[in-house]
Amino acid sequence: MTGSNIRKRIVEYKSSKIFRILTIDGLGRDSKFVGLVLFTAHYFPSCSADDHPLSKRLCFFQTTILQTTYIPRYLSFKIVREELGDNWRDHFAEFDERPFAAASIGQVHEGVLPDGRRVAVKIQYPGVAEGIDSDINNLMSTLKVANVLPETLFVDSVIEVAKRELAWECDYERERQCGERFAALVAPYSQYYVPSAIPHLSTKRMLTTELIEGTAVDKCVHLNQETRNAICAGLLELTLRELFQFGFMQTDPNWANFFYNESTQQIALVDFGACREYSKNFVDLYIEVIHGAAIGDRQKVLQFSQEIGFLTGHEAKVMKEAHVDAVMILGEAFRHDRAFCFSEQATTRRIQELVPTLLQHRMCPPPEEVYSLHRKMSGVYLLCARLGGQVNMHPLFFDIYRRYKFGGAW
């Protein structure tokens, strides 16, 4: 890959961060960002995600370019030398010079430590962390000139979220710390596994962790129904615990961040660059919104939607009704004490029917926490649909709600 192509790839990655926030596509060819549409109406008008050229470009970028292109060997070795020193090979008994995977902002090599441990070494592409502000500002200026963004998108909020998330994801030292924190949080739950980081071989631009075994969860469609249900239940339970128990969530919905190990029956979790905290005050209100939907209480949904900042209270009646309708659709997964079949629901179509109203009448941007939260929730819902998951989420949610302690700190 030439220097100019590297720069082009970096800019495209930063563009994809914006598009993942703006569009209802971003998880692959089969995906629609149900949750993101549901609360924020961030989409390109008069076009489905599958038809819009920007969405098509992003989908191609994520599923083709990111998976098949790598930086030259000399350049990746240059980065490793800068991070670990000229004698960096002394830290490895073996190091595969050809990467086995390409991430959004880096590539991953397999290695073996002197003590025999197999590791994954993620090396960040050069220049990714540089010029975040200018690249995003230039992109948004272009989109504004092209007149593809509706005024009710509240672009300034999107820009601030994108800049902050990009800065987080470019800091591998932060990612290592988040992974360690996450490992401690899920330690009591044996169905999850977080690979250990190797601190002395990790820096801001390089992250070395234990190499995991397993299959990316979206590739588990061939497994039996019971196993697929268990995978879906594990991911849904994790999402609820992240928000309502930990106050700390890995918000990247990329399905390649979750692997299933058939031997151990564990879900392995990787890539913690998009982890973030949620304030206790936000979660106190958000759990009431979801509880209102779960018990079918439209007035409660409306009340707490206003308190949390989804609505101002001055919207037209049609907007309030559409917002509550959308939330109630999401709450269906928790409403009844029986298995909810994700693949048989018309959730996407029903939400899309509400989008024009949500877009036309929105009077305020959503709380900034919502961008990342609903991106993660959407990814999990869509993965469960892909796997044909049948999960009874009613007992878990209501148990979490009963145990939830309002007020105070985490």
Residue 254: which of 389, 376, 80, 403 has the closest Cα?
A: 376
Give me the catalytic one of 25, 135, 171, 252.
252
Q: Which of 384, 332, 394 is nearest to 38 (CA)?
A: 332
**Residue 338 contacts residue 392 (beta carbons within 8 Å):** yes
Element (H, E) at 23: none
For residues 215 and 244, give the distance between their C-alpha atoms in angstroms, rounded to a whole number.
Answer: 28
Using CA of residue 178, residue 287, residue 290, residue 338, what is the dihedral sign?
positive
Residue of 139, 102, 36 lying closest to 379 (CA atoms): 36
d(CA 17, CA 48): 19
CA atoms of 23 and 21, how far apart (whole Å): 6
- Start-to-end CA distance of the chain, whole Å, equals 46
Q: Is 252 a catalytic residue?
A: yes
What is the residue-wise DSSP string for 137-186? HHHHHHHHHTT-S-GGG-HHHHHHHHHHHHHHHT-HHHHHHHHHHHHHHH
Task: Report which residue type is found at 93.
Answer: A
Sort strands 266-269 and 206-210 into parallel, antiparallel or unpaired. unpaired
Distances (CA, A) of 369 to 187, 261, 349, 405, 409: 26, 32, 25, 20, 17
Which amino acids are annotated catalytic? 252
